[in-house]
Structure 1
Amino acid sequence: MNIKVFIYDDNLSRRDSLKALLELSPELEFAGEAINCSAAVQDMETCFPDVVLMDINMPVVDGIEGLKTIKQNFPHIKVLMQTVFDDSDKIFECIKNGASGYILKKDPPQRILQAIQEVYEGGAVMNPSIALKVLEYFKPQEQKSPLSEREQQVLQLLAQGLSYKMVADKLFLSFHTVNSHAKRIYEKLHVSSLGEAIAYYYKNLHQ
């Protein structure tokens, strides 16, 4: 059975080239087209596509609004976003609203056909440069320690079980200075015991 594909794009030559691409592919079938998403519900009810190729930037009603409308009313229809931008905010907006994938218009024809097939089969498709942005976005932010470098050294040695006196000897500091560092560590970390400070070290600073 052929995969029926509906195209949203306000660029006529782009729509024509996508149609030609679909017609050359025996397992795909062109279901319909529109220049924006102002009649998205009607388009879906008339054409019953399996997959929608959705341009993001279109006049009147854009692809993000169209995506929301289609997913709310026809959750089974797969929507594959396509754009010239690999714009992070728009990517996440689309992913949050149920897009099945995201390709760039400059992706080669073979990749576009493959993407349609993949989302139809339930996969999630992402152009590599977009996948990288998504990973960057979800990567935990580097935690900046509130402690100075010297305070971190002191805490590291205390975490290794050294006493204040041993830390003082090792860092060529006076006992009084180590004691002052320890107090500042407690204040900065909002802890009241050495055990809590060491727990913070192992959780946040220990590589």
Structure 2
Amino acid sequence: MLKIWIVEDNSSYRRATVRGLSVLADDVQPSEFDNCEDVITAIDAGQSPDVFLMDIDLPGMDGIEGIGEIKRRLPDASVLILTVFEDDEKIFRALKAGASGYCLKSDSIAKVCEAVQQVLQGAAPIHPRIAGRVLKMFTQLAPEQADYGLNAREQAVLEAMTRGLVRKQVAGELDLNLHTLDYVTRCIYRKLHVNGATAAVALAIRERLVDPPE
């Protein structure tokens, strides 16, 4: 069963999301939380999902702080932002904290399910409207190209990631086995000082480490 934790304080939207996920996918086991503190308690008790669906505006610890706490405990966690916020600062804070993707609550449940599957395959789904704004901001803020010490293979993997290729596609295109690809990916994250694919792609475009995807 695919375990999805929905972290959302709006009970109506949270329950509607749970119902929608259950209808669209028979193998989904959703769990509901209305705050990040309870999520952290559950993780500390030894529980964990396959994917988090995280709102940003939450009581107490907000969703972006929650991502940081989750990543400290579960470094490989997949956290998909699901929010109404399109504020530039919140977008960047969420990506920097290690969000695996960024969806809007105006998206259909089918789109959210598709984003979940993309995250599980190693991609970094971002709502097109958000992606356009991110690229625009990166273009405006882009400094001269920095040197992060990436070798040729790491550079090739990073470039493939920016084109939206999922894990198996990257491995096939570059003729790497999945274990080697995972090692190279971890090296990229370490050298770029990021926590996930979305942040790596965002930084790569911002720092001009690769050409922006068309």
Identical-residue share of aligned pairs (%): 39
Deviation at 1:24, TM superposition (A): 1.2
Q: Quote the offset at 1:25 in angstroms.
A: 2.8
Supply the distance in 1 between the matched residues of 2:120 and 2:53 (Cα, whole angstroms).
12
Alignment correspondent of 1:195: none
Aligned to 2:49: 49
TM normalised by structure 1 equals 0.64
CA drift at 1:109: 1.5
Other-structure match for 1:40: 39
Q: Deviations over 1:15-35 (max 9, x none)?
A: 111111121133542342111
Instruction: Report the Cα distance in structure 1 between the residues aligned to 2:36 and 2:103, rounded to whole angstroms.
Output: 19
Cα distance in structure 1, aligned partners of 2:123 and 2:57: 24
Change over 3 Å in CA distance of 1:47–1:28 after alignment to 2: farther
* Distance change >3 Å, CA 27–CA 107, structure 1 → 2: same
Shift of 1:108: 1.4
1:189-200 equivalences under 5 Å are none
- Quote the offset at 1:77 in angstroms: 1.6
> Which consecutive segments of 4 or more residues in structure 1 shift more than 3 A?
none
Number of the residue aligned with 2:69: 69
| Structure 1 counterpart of 2:7 | 8
The alpha carbon displacement at 1:6 in A equals: 0.2
Which sits farther off after the overlay, 21-30 or 81-90? 21-30
Q: How many aligned residue pairs are there? A: 142
Per-residue CA distance 1:160-190 (angstroms, 9 max, x = gap): xxxxxxxxxxxxxxxxxxxxxxxxxxxxxxx
TM-score with structure 2 length normalisation?
A: 0.62
**1:80 corresponds to:** 80
Structure 2 unaligned blocks of 5 or more: 143-214
The answer for the alignment partner of 2:19 in structure 1 is 20
Is the contact made by 2:24 and 2:110 (CA closer than 8 Å) also made in structure 1? no
Give the distance between the partners of 2:47 and 2:30, measured in 1 at CA: 6
Structure 1 unaligned blocks of 5 or more: 143-207
Counterpart-to-counterpart distance in 2, 1:46 and 1:33: 17
2:18–2:30 Cα contact (<8 Å) kept = no
C-alpha contact 1:78 1:100 (8 A) present in aligned 2:
yes
Structure with greater contact order relative to length (CA < 8 Å, sep ≥ 6): 2
Question: 1:47, CA displacement in angstroms?
Answer: 3.8
Separation of aligned partners in 1, 2:87 and 2:38:
26
Q: Which has the larger Rg?
A: 1
